Amino acid sequence: METLPGFDLREYGRLLERLQQVGYALRPVAEMRDESSLRVAFLRHDLDFSLEAALPMAKLEASLGAHSTYYVLLKGPYDVTSPSGRDHVRAIRAAGHSVGLHYDLREYPEHDLEERLHHEVATLADILDAPVVDIALHEPHRGLGDPFRSLPGFSHPHDPRWAEGLLYVSDSCRAWRDETLLRCFLPDPPERLLLLTHPALWLDAEIQGGSEYIERILMPEASREAHMYFSEEVPRIWGTHPGPQAQRRRVRGVGPEAAVFLWLTRALVEARLAEFQSLFSRFEEVPWDAEQILRDVPGKWTQTLALEREGEIVAFSFNSIRDGALYVHAFFVDPAHRGEGLGRRMVARLGERARDLGLAGIALSVHRDNARAQGFYRAHGFVSEGLETSDGQQMMRRVGGS
């Protein structure tokens, strides 16, 4: 597979078959906690729009021997408590898949959040006539935080305990932000993939525009109560979400915004080591040599980001996950390309990544005498934590997403 899949079931089936061909087992989210040497793609589906639209995908997966996790809203543009709603979610489970709760914190009271979660879990378990252990936050881009990522007794796709070595890819708003998914088909693929899809977005690859897809595909099948959601809420989200914006930039391919993001594996860095060494030679604050560039740090080879334009690396950020945050070890924009907004794009993308993983934000350290760097980070939402190491490094943190 040399190109990203289009959004229809045939393309989705082809994607799963290619993942199987290169050695991935297709498993539900709850199995992320199991230690295994197998190459695994964990399949997650958020049912934000329709229960019925998920049934063809569930049947297709079953025919390929794939087992997935489908997350259901109790309050949304469909009624899971209705007779047809119960039939749909039970049919998904009968196809061999897990059904979990997609909780919406906007519907939760300010206090007793966990009590409300347990109530909704019990409601869904009653509908399914089966226990519910899978939970996932609805619309994390709203930046409300997620208090349930590591709640005992439940399985969460963004539990930080399972984040090590995990590549996360999402089709949010019917868009691929970058070509990260294609890493799975390179000679050195990630061993663990978390693939999030929304089944109702995979019904017609011929329709490219978001507004047209909403009008022609989603709304005709929607209930009367859901029409306002599709006519007002969904276009607003799709119009501001970073996923479609990134896809438009990637497809357009002009100007400074044409630089594309690359999530760097060790193999990619090794293949371009001379280029990174040249960049680090201009990085006075962090003059890493080859050994330091390639040093293994937990999470480094799934969370390290670069910007490439016309085949040239113009910015990078070597990162890991530390203390519940995306931690930046080395952030650099080529001096020849400063003033083009590349640093802003990098910080925004890292913020999205932290939010998608359910992390508290971005953390880093900067020397107390490096006024230029401190000014840049403050301008992009970082604040000093008032902590300083013996060698003069000050901790700074940016909370939330982009």
Q: What is the mean pLDDT of residues 398-402?
A: 70
Task: Tell me what pLDDT residue 248 has.
Answer: 57
Residues 348-391: tens digit of each pLDDT? 999 988 988 888 899 999 998 888 898 899 989 999 987 777 78
Residues 13-39: tens digit of each pLDDT? 999 999 999 999 999 999 998 877 689
pLDDT of 294 higher than 90: yes
User: Which residue is it, tokens 């929304």?
Assistant: 198
pTM of the complete model: 0.66
Q: What is the mean pLDDT of residues 321-330?
A: 92
pLDDT of 256 higher than 50: no
Helix 342-356 and helix 242-252, axial crossing angle in degrees, nearest 10: 140
Q: Distance of CA 285 to CAs 40, 48, 276, 307, 335, Å?
A: 39, 45, 15, 20, 13
Q: pLDDT grade, residue 205 (50/70/90)?
A: confident
Domains in the chain: ranges and CATH? 9-250 (3.40.50.1100), 254-399 (3.40.630.30)
